[in-house]
């Protein structure tokens, strides 16, 4: 597990405390964010830095995304210099609540490049992320979950695998809310 190189894109309100938690748990973590201050803080705690989503996907097998909105999430995952252009990435984990249609769009685009996707919306807020006590509802191919699950367990007190279809977790989170 420790050999898996993990990337995190979006070191903001939720991403930063998740990144700190992963670093404390000994994860080999590379981060990417538009805000150099957010990245600098994580580098001071042992993270590496990537200048772009593509660079992150060229060096990390599992990438966790914590992004502020639908358009940003689609652009980061599928844009010309996005995750889908990366050479190393095997599984992309989207932690934002984006809706099942957007998740399916991202999953389909990544599948064209043989990149798996785990739909994993999170609940709990920044303090719980920092403590590793988030609730995570995950869906996606079982093999992809098997790779990403041990990493998600580092930030989750409760990790629920809901099945093979990305988007199911989005619906479950809305129902739960």
The whole-angstrom separation of Cα 127 and Cα 130 is 5
Contact 4, 151 (CB under 8 A): yes
Residue 33, both tokens: 């964010």
Residue 148, both tokens: 């990403």
Concerning whether 173 is annotated as a catalytic residue, the answer is: yes
Alpha-carbon dihedral sign for residues 137, 68, 77, 39: negative
Q: Tell me which residue has tokens 């064209």.
A: 112
53 φ, ψ (degrees, to nearest 5):
-60, -40
Could you say which of 5, 54, 154, 173 is catalytic?
Answer: 173
Q: What residues act catalytically?
A: 173
């Amino acid at each position: 597990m420790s050999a898996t190189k993990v990337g995190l894109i979006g070191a903001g309100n939720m991403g930063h405390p998740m990144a700190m938690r992963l670093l404390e748990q000994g994860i080999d973590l590379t981060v990417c964010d538009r805000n150099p201050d957010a990245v600098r803080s994580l580098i001071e705690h042992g993270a590496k830095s990537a200048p772009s989503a593509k660079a992150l996907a060229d060096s990390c097998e599992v990438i966790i995304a914590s992004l502020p909105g639908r358009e940003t999430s689609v652009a980061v995952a599928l844009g010309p210099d996005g995750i889908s252009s990366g050479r190393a990435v095997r599984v992309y984990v989207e932690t934002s609540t984006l809706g099942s249609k957007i998740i399916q769009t991202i999953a389909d685009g990544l599948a064209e490049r043989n990149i798996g996707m785990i739909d994993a919306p999170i609940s709990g807020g920044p303090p719980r992320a920092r403590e590793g006590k988030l609730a995570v509802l995950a869906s996606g191919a079982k093999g992809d979950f098997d790779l990403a699950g041990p990493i998600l367990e580092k930030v989750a007190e409760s990790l629920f695998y809901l099945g093979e279809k990305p988007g199911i977790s989005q619906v479950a989170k809305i129902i739960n809310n």
